Amino acid sequence: MIDLALKNSRGLAIRKLQVAEKQAKLNEDNVKKYPLVTLNSTYQYNANIGSLVIDQGSFGVLRSMRPLRCRCRTNQTFALGQHHTVNAGITAYQPITQLGKIKTGLTIDQTDVQLSEQEQRKNCSANPAGC
């Protein structure tokens, strides 16, 4: 009868879930002390790429110490790119200035886990085998 009551105890189930929650928070916060690395890439296909056209005589006369005539004799066309464009990047982030706060947070999380486990043990002290 006591074993059945312990297995169906709502309070005991809540305590077990609280311990699991505190342990998950500890594991989640433990990751913050390591560097975060992000990789990304993009691909783009450009269907219509423009071109740069310099018309004949568009630069006019360039003056220096002596007159210099620089005029294009014909129209010049320059392609501005290619159809395929690939970009790739990597980012590494380490919160060095926050490591003290992260360590304090981990200590608090460990204390929360210990308190939750202690409350769970207190609730099932009548029959530890049923917990």
Between 7 and 93, the higher pLDDT residue: 93
Question: Which of helix, strand or coil describes residue 5?
Answer: helix
Q: Other CB atoms closer than 10 Å to residue 130's CB: what's the count?
A: 14
CB-based contacts of 1: which residues, under 8 Å, 6+ apart?
none
Residues 49-87 have pLDDT tens digits of: 778 887 766 666 555 555 545 555 677 777 777 778 889
Name the residue ranges covered by the structural domains of the chain. 7-34+95-131, 36-93
In this predicted structure, what is the pLDDT of residue 71?
53
Residue 26, pLDDT score: 87
Q: For the segment 88-116, what is each residue's pLDDT rounded down to a tens digit?
A: 999 998 888 888 888 898 899 899 888 88
What is the average pLDDT across 12-30? 85
Q: What is the pTM of this model?
A: 0.45
Q: Which residues make beta-bridge pairs with 37?
A: 92
Q: Pick the residue with more confidence: 44 or 123?
A: 44
pLDDT of residue 115: 87
Cross-strand bridge partners of residue 67: 63
CA geometry: angle at 115 spanning 114 and 116, to 5°? Answer: 90
Higher pLDDT, 41 or 130: 41
Structure tokens that stand for 22 in this block = 């505190």
State residue 89's pLDDT score. Answer: 95
Look at residue 30 in the predicted model and tell me its pLDDT.
Answer: 86
State the pairing for strand pair 84-93/36-45.
antiparallel
Q: What is the mean pLDDT of residues 3-29?
A: 78
